[in-house]
């Protein structure tokens, strides 16, 4: 199962889906192309030498106050961003070795993403929203339809497959988003504040679904919500881009 202290070992864990070694992510604070030139622009170190290994069959939380680097670290571990320095490996592939197109293909196959505000397409039904990653992956219409209906049934929305997002509650929309994240059977699911827009009852059901998803994959939750962190096998705590605690 999970490592008890959350520390990243010097060599990757045997069943690690994501491994980051001394990850740094810096951003320019501005000044690009101005009178003084971009070379003089100050930088913000959003992530400062963070090392972590996330294994299959575990739920890992990333916690910390606003501005601590939670979302930045989550985006790195999901392959949505690349580190300024350090080594990041997702499902055995070094992210730095990939082009932007190749990273997109890796995410489509390997990573399912759940956003705080759902990011569903308003004009599509629940079934069609869940099928979007399968369409991008080139699956047939019949296969997309069958997989989407299977997943919506699994998240308790078999009677909502033709409903559009505007006809669904916040909790139902987040369950559709989870089904979509699972569509390609990814090795990793990441969720950024998945309960941030939900009441406590809906949030509890969403967290139960995410916990179940870790039965055969890795799940990472970035959240300040203690209810969400309580379902995690371990929690990495950040402040000012650095790890200040692991439990």
Q: Is the sign of the CA dihedral 226, 227, 233, 238 positive or negative? A: negative
Tell the residue number behind the tokens 């992510």, with chain if given.
Answer: 25
- Does pLDDT of 6 surpass 50? no
Q: What is the pLDDT of residue 246?
A: 85
pLDDT interval class at 216 (50, 70, 90): confident
155, 104 contact by CB (below 8 A): no
Q: By three-state DSSP, how is residue 70 classified?
A: helix
Per the CB < 8 A criterion, the answer to whether 79 and 90 are in contact is yes
**Tokens found for residue 13:** 């864990």
Interatomic CA distance for residues 151 and 138, integer angstroms: 18
The domains located in the chain, with CATH, are: 57-80+99-246 (3.40.50.300)
Which pLDDT tens digit goes with each residue over 29-75?
Answer: 765 554 445 556 678 999 999 999 999 999 999 999 989 999 999 99
Q: What's the pLDDT at 165?
A: 96
Mean predicted confidence (pLDDT) in 226-242: 94
pTM of the model: 0.86
Answer yes or no: is pLDDT of 168 > 80.
Answer: yes
- Number of C-beta neighbours around residue 162 at 10 A: 10
Distance of alpha carbon 50 from the chain centroid: 17
What DSSP character marks residue 96? G
Q: Would you say the C-alpha torsion 88, 5, 16, 113 has a positive or negative sign?
A: negative
CB atoms within 10 A of CB 30: 10
Q: At 231, is the pLDDT very low, low, confident or very high (cuts 50, 70, 90)?
A: very high
């Amino acid at each position: 199962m999970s490592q008890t202290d959350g520390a990243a070992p010097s060599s990757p864990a045997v069943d690690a889906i994501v491994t980051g070694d001394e990850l740094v992510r810096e951003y320019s604070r501005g000044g690009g192309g101005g009178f003084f030139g971009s070379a003089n622009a100050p930088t913000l170190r959003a992530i400062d030498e963070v090392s972590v290994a996330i294994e299959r069959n575990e739920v890992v939380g990333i916690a910390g106050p606003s501005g601590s680097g939670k979302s930045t670290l989550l985006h790195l571990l999901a392959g949505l961003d690349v580190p300024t320095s350090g080594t990041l490996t997702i499902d055995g592939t070094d992210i730095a070795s990939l082009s932007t197109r190749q990273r997109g293909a890796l995410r489509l196959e390997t990573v399912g993403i759940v956003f705080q505000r759902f990011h569903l397409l308003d004009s599509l039904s629940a079934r069609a929203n869940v099928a979007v990653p399968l369409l991008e992956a080139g699956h047939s219409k019949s296969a997309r339809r069958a997989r989407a209906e299977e997943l919506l049934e699994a998240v308790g929305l078999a009677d909502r497959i033709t409903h559009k997002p505007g006809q669904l509650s916040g909790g139902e929309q987040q369950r559709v988003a989870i089904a979509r994240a699972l569509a390609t059977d990814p090795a990793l699911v990441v969720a950024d504040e998945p309960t941030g827009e939900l009441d406590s009852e809906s949030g509890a059901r969403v967290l139960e679904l995410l916990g179940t998803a870790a039965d055969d994959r890795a799940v990472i939750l970035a959240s300040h919500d203690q209810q969400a962190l309580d379902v995690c096998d371990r929690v990495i705590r950040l402040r000012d881009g650095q790890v200040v605690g692991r439990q």
